[in-house]
Amino acid sequence: MSGIWLLDRHVALFSGSLRTLLRRESDRRRCADSPYAWLFQPYMGEELVALTCHVTPTVSSPVISLAAIVFNQQRILTSQAFVLSLGAAGQADNASLRRHRLLCQAGEITPPSSGNLSALVEFIGNRPVVGWQLDQRIGALNALLSARLNFELPNAQVDVAKLHQRQLRRVHPEVDAPSSFAQALACWQVPAMGATHSVLGEATASALLYMRLQRVMAEAV
Amino acid sequence: MVDVDLSQLPFTLLDDEGRDHIRRGIDLAYFDRDEIILETGQVGEFVFLIHKGEVAEIDASLPSSTSRIGHYTPGDIFGAISILNGKSRYRFKAEQECLCYLLPKALFQQLCSRYPTFSDFFRQSLTHKARLLTEKRAEGGVAMAGFMLAKVSECMREPLLVAASTDIASAVKQLNDSHADSLLVDTQGTLGMVTKTDLLNGLVLGSCDVTSPLDEIAHFNLVTVEPDQYLFEVLVLMTRHKVARVVVMENSVLSGVVELTDVLSYFSSRSFVVTLQVEQATSLEALAAASQRTPELVKALMTQGVKLRFAMDLLAALNGRIMSKAWEFTVGEGYRQHSCMMVMGSEGRGEQILKTDQDNGLILADDVQWPDLSADMKKLTNTLVQLGYPPCPGNIMVSNAEWVGTVSQWKASIAKWARERDGDSLMKLAIMLDAHAVAGNPSLLESVREELFARCSDDELLLSYFARTALRFSTPLTLFGSLKKPQHGIDIKKGGIFPIVHGVRTMALERRIKATSTLDRLDALASDGRLDRRFADDLGEALSLFAELRLKQQLDALEVESGQGVDQQAQAASRANRVVVQTLSSLERDLLREALHIVKDFKQRLSHRYHLEYS
């Protein structure tokens, strides 16, 4: 019994590089007595969280729009989605910011604080996080988290882009050009759900893509 | 907020705030193929809005062939009624992989209580589901309201005024001549009325004879109304005073009479009024006026949910009477027995509900001498144009010498067409097959038709050529059997009506069936044993459905186009054949799909019977 516990508990640690592995373990030890300790517990449920981050660098500090949605194999709880835009308040309304707003539709930009960041990590909880090109996009969020809360997202992470590439190679061994999110959605006939112009849409679509790929993999076995 | 399209009914009944509530409150759910979304008797927890995929509604208590009672496609809603009723009456099953938005029960109920029209939409669709499509039309309360608001002036007859000293014999003659059953009697400024009953009573029970003056039996206590009073007020007056006729006085000057039968037929369908007008017409203008009222009659019949087949029969009879009246106005008495005017095409089949164009021809007896024939025929065509039958674009009209001939000339051309078998000849044969005599001597057409059957019915090769045209247009179904949904709509005439009409026509030719209407031909083919009775009935129903869908669009087009230019009218006419699937309700869509499947099946039978597989 204890062996399985240990394995489950550390299975999350085997994903990612050695650096993140070590980092996560030290975070866990540091947070052992903080209210965030439960986030480092292994997750035993069925749910996952689809996470999308959009980062637009501006003159002062980058603006991050993110959306997180809880889903399981059947339902995507869009009604309880967590949508947030983080950035320095009172920024000049320049072109890149306007473009960011158009792309993300994530509402008012609020300055990052330990309050809204802890709301985010508590929303995500210890559930696995799913997203398109997650390891590249999550960097800015992790930087904010470690500055404010002293740890990075400890959750197991699933990169749908990698899943997609792997599955694509199984079907067409000669394909190796990386494809865009829109191409991947079209490839697996997943409806785009407005992925091109809102973070929430993109998170929904990546959850759907994950569900679809899970099914494709289950059929292939 | 979720990016979901709420621009369709019933969400258009909400305001922006309500729609935002929905966008904030809905979840997404994925259902695998054949997964049961909502089981019979299960408590309704969500309203489902389909984003992708198809869902079947199944009544599990029925045998499997008929258990599918509904079909939902992207944009459709289901599950609302389960919430209103507490639990689901039927089973909903995903037919393909489905992605649905889920609107939670609590939010739905909240919206229903806040937006009564939104709630009504679902309660209404509950009743709408329970009834069948034909009955649904009866709820077209708008058109009925139009009748309720009719004024007296729209429904009154010309008064028949005679002097008080007129004797009974001439009064009876006058009544018969003018197809009326009451007369007004003028006695020194006061008006009296004499009805047929009064005449009868006076002659049989009273002491009058045929030479007595009318004022002995006339009634002088008349009920009068003004021409701008509502018709239903007249009905009330008639009931209250126990009379069947009222006199219309405009500023104390006599202007007309309203009879009970007129009022009742006006409220029912006006069919009586139009028929009467046609019969009473003594001039071309009066006939044209009556002829112009037929679209109105069609609309009234459709509003009351009269089965299309009977409406067709009535209209065919009416059109026939109008044509034969026009014939009587233009053709001299002496020629009538030696010639036969026939109508062809949809009119010949009795399927032309609204006047589209005139297709007609003339058969002459072999020995007739008719010097100014072409002038007379030109006049007849022009008369028909005046009566509201537009000229035929293919010039199949009596004014064209090609469609006028003696019996032997017609027989010769039929022999030639049957020999040549090219596209034009086959089309002319098809046109002749639908010919129906409307005026003159019908035996002439009979003898031509005999020749047609003798030449063609046993000629397998000709039949095969003839049948091939039925396959010319593809059925608008996808590879998987669902409806094609192009933006501009599917052509119901090419995809549905034409294959049935032409296929049935071919079979009728083969079996020498003289009926010209497709539905009658189907009946005859079924009793002949050529077609299975059930399949024949199905085909008939499918045809009625297509015709109804088309008629609805034609009526809409009629309303739009009045007052527009000629090319716009032509455009509207071509658009009337197109049914935009997206605008139909899911029940209608289901019926349409079933009907098109029947057409597809029929085409397969045709190609099997007439060996069209490789042609």
Q: Which of A76, A201, A215 lies closest to B3 in CB terms?
A: A201
B610: which residues sit within 8 A by CB, 6+ positions away? B463, B464, B467, B468, B506
pLDDT at position B22, please? Answer: 87
- 0.90 exceeded by pTM: no
CA nearest B9: which of B88, B125, B128?
A: B125
Q: What's the pLDDT at B78?
A: 86
A75 lies within 8 A of chain B by CB: yes
Residue-level pLDDT at B65: 67
Confidence (pLDDT) at A7 = 43
Closest CB to A79: pick one of B26, B32, B51: B26
3-state SS of B392-451 is CCCCCCCCCHHHEEEHHHHHHHHHHHHHHCCHHHHHHHHHHHCCEEEEECHHHHHHHHHH
- Give residue B567's pLDDT: 57
Q: Is-contact B550 B492, C-beta < 8 A?
A: yes
- Higher pLDDT, residue B272 or B166: B166
- Residue of chain A whose Cα is closest to the Cα of B23: A79
Q: Is A118 left (phi over 0), alpha (psi -120 to 50) or beta?
A: alpha
A201 touches B at CB < 8 Å: yes
pLDDT at B87 over 60: yes
CA pair distance B153, B158, nearest whole angstrom: 11
Residues of chain B contacting residue A74, judged by C-beta atoms under 8 Å apart? 29-31
| pLDDT tens track for B328-345 | 888 877 788 888 888 888
Residue B613 has pLDDT above 60, yes or no: yes
User: Within an 8 Å CB–CB cutoff, is residue A53 touching chain B?
Assistant: no
Contact A200 B2 (CB under 8 A): yes
Query: 3-state DSSP call for residue B242?
Result: coil
More confident residue, B143 or B42: B42
Asked whether the predicted pLDDT for residue B397 surpasses 50, the reply is: yes
DSSP-derived secondary structure letter, B479: T
The residue of chain A with its CA nearest to that of B51 is A191
Check A198 against B3: CB less than 8 A apart: yes
Which pLDDT score, from 0 to 100, does residue B147 have?
A: 54
Closest to B28 (Cβ–Cβ): which among A73, A76, A215?
A76
For position B562, what pLDDT does the model report?
55
Nearest CA in chain A to B100: A75
- At B339 the three-state DSSP class reads strand
Question: Quick check: B1 and A200 CB within 8 A?
Answer: yes
> B472, B442, B431, B455: which is closest to B510 by C-alpha?
B455
The DSSP secondary structure of chain A, one letter per residue, reads -HHHHHHHHHHGGGSS-HHHHHHHHHHHHHTTTSTTGGGGSPP-SS-EEEEEEEEE--SSS-EEEEEEEEE-SSEE-GGG-EEEEE--TT----HHHHHHHHHH---SEE---HHHHHHHHHHHTTS-EEETTHHHHSHHHHHHHHHHTS----S-EEEHHHHHHHHHHHH-TT--S---HHHHHHHTT---TTTTT-HHHHHHHHHHHHHHHHHHHHHH-
Is a pLDDT exceeding 60 seen at residue B561? no
Do residue B30 and residue A74 have CB atoms under 8 angstroms apart? Answer: yes
Which of B26, B31, B32 is opposite residue A78, by nearest beta carbon? B26
Would you say residue B72 has pLDDT above 90? no
- Decide if A86 touches B, using CB distance below 8 A: no
Give the closest residue to B99 by CA, choosing from B55, B37, B52.
B52
**DSSP structure string for B305-325:** T--HHHHHHHHHHHHHHHHHH
Contacts of A216 (CB under 8 A, 6+ apart): A167, A188
B129, B131, B135, B139: CA torsion to nearest 10: -60
Q: Is B263 helix (H, G, I), strand (E, B) or coil?
A: helix
As beta bridge partners, residue B406 has B364
- Mean pLDDT, range B47-74, rounded to an integer: 81
Is the CB of A17 inside 8 Å of chain B's CB atoms? no
pLDDT value for B320: 84
Which pLDDT tens digit goes with each residue over B304-317?
Answer: 667 777 778 878 88
pLDDT at B427 over 70: yes
Candidate from A197, A198, A204 with C-beta closest to B28: A204
Residue B132 has pLDDT above 50, yes or no: no
pLDDT at B127 over 50: no
For residue A55, give the nearest of A167, A157, A168, A134 by alpha carbon.
Answer: A134
Give the total residue count for chain B: 615
pLDDT score at A135:
81
Give the separation between CA B546 and CA B133, rounded to whole angstroms. Answer: 13
Distance separating alpha carbons of residues B481 and B483, to the nearest angstrom: 7
Q: Is residue B582 very low, low, confident or very high in pLDDT (cuts 50, 70, 90)?
A: confident
What's the pLDDT band for B470 if we cut at 50, 70, 90?
confident
The count of residues in chain A is 221
Buried b (16+ CB within 10 A) or exposed e, B241-267: eebebbbbbeeeeebbbbbeebbebbb
Identify which of B24, B51, B52 has the shortest CB distance to residue A79. B24
Closest-CA distance, A25 to chain B, in angstroms, reads 36
Give the one of A193, A201, A211 whose C-beta lies nearest to B30's C-beta: A211
221 residues of chain A, pLDDT tens digit each: 333 444 444 444 455 677 777 888 888 888 888 888 888 888 888 889 999 988 887 777 788 888 999 998 888 998 888 888 888 766 666 777 777 777 777 677 888 888 888 899 999 988 999 999 888 888 888 888 888 888 888 888 888 888 888 888 888 777 667 788 888 888 888 888 777 778 888 899 999 999 988 888 888 76
Least CA distance to B104: which residue of chain A? A79
pLDDT at residue B351 is higher than 70:
yes
pLDDT in tens, B476-520: 777 666 777 777 778 888 888 899 999 999 999 998 888 888 988
Number of H helices, E strands in chain B: 26, 20
Answer yes or no: do A79 and B3 touch at CB < 8 A. no
Per-residue pLDDT at B272 exceeds 70: no
Mutate to test the interface with B, among A48, A76, A79 (most CBs of B within 10 A): A79
- Percent of chain B beyond pLDDT 90? 3
B33: alpha, beta or left? (left if phi > 0; alpha if psi -120 to 50): beta
Taking residue A131's Cβ as centre, other Cβ atoms within 10 Å add up to 27
- Which residue of chain A has the CA closest to B29? A75
pLDDT at B559: 67
pLDDT band at B130 (very low <50, low <70, confident <90, very high): very low
Tell me: pLDDT of B199 over 60. yes
Q: Is the peptide bond before A178 cis (omega within 30 degrees of 0)?
A: no
* pLDDT in the model for residue B125: 55
Pick the more confident residue, B465 or B296.
Answer: B465
Phi/psi of residue B115, nearest 5 degrees: -120, 95
Bridge partners for A75 per DSSP:
B29
Cβ–Cβ below 8 Å for B28 and A201: no
Closest of B75, B59, B93, B78 to residue B125, by C-alpha:
B78
The complex's ipTM works out to: 0.82
Amino acid identity for residue A96 in this structure:
S
Query: Rounded to a whole number, what is the distance in Å from the CA of A220 to chain B's nearest CA?
Result: 16
Confidence at residue B139, expressed as pLDDT on a 0 to 100 scale: 43
Distance from CA of A26 to the nearest CA of B (A): 37
| CA nearest neighbour of B185 among B205, B168, B200, B173 | B168
A79 Cβ under 8 Å from any chain B Cβ: yes
Q: Between B2, B99, B104, which is nearest A191 by CB?
A: B99
pLDDT of B140 = 43
Residues of B with CB under 8 A from a CB of A: 1-3, 24-32, 51-52, 99, 102, 104
Using alpha carbons, list the distances in angstroms from residue B375 to B176, B370, B372. 35, 10, 5
Using a CB–CB cutoff of 8 Å, tell me whether A194 touches chain B.
yes
For range B156-165, the mean pLDDT: 82
